[in-house]
Amino acid sequence: MVREIRWSSRADRDREEIETYWINRNKSNTYSLKLDQLFRQNIDLLVKIPEMGKTTKFPGVRFIIVLDYLVYYRATSAAIEIITIWDSRRNPKKFKL
């Protein structure tokens, strides 16, 4: 069975904010496009190997590392649900799933 990739509204918002930050910081969208491609390549790999992410204290939730970002997801038999993208340079005490 082929799993589909589902982005939560929070994950979509996270990705947009990250891309906008880098566009504003670099005055170019080159890095943002590269980063988006890395996110998508790694998430596409999850479809083939959903267990590749590290487990978390949250039941059924795993994460993968893409550069400085942690991509939290949940795998079911039908889909890979991207829950959120967290910049690992931020204060971990502020993280909420």
Q: What is the average pLDDT value for the chain, to the nearest integer? A: 91
Tell me the pLDDT tens digit for each residue of 39-74. 999 999 999 999 999 999 999 999 999 999 999 999
Residue 96 lies in a domain: no
Residue 17 lies in a domain: yes
pTM of the model: 0.89
Res 19: pLDDT: 93
Q: Which residues form the domain of 45? A: 4-90
Domain count for the chain: 1
3-state secondary structure the chain: CCCEEEECHHHHHHHHHHHHHHHHHHCCCHHHHHHHHHHHHHHHHHHHCHHHCEECCCCCEEEEEECCEEEEEEECCCEEEEEEEEECCCCHHHCCC
Res 88: pLDDT: 86
Residue 79 lies in a domain: yes
Q: Would you say residue 1 has pLDDT above 60?
A: no
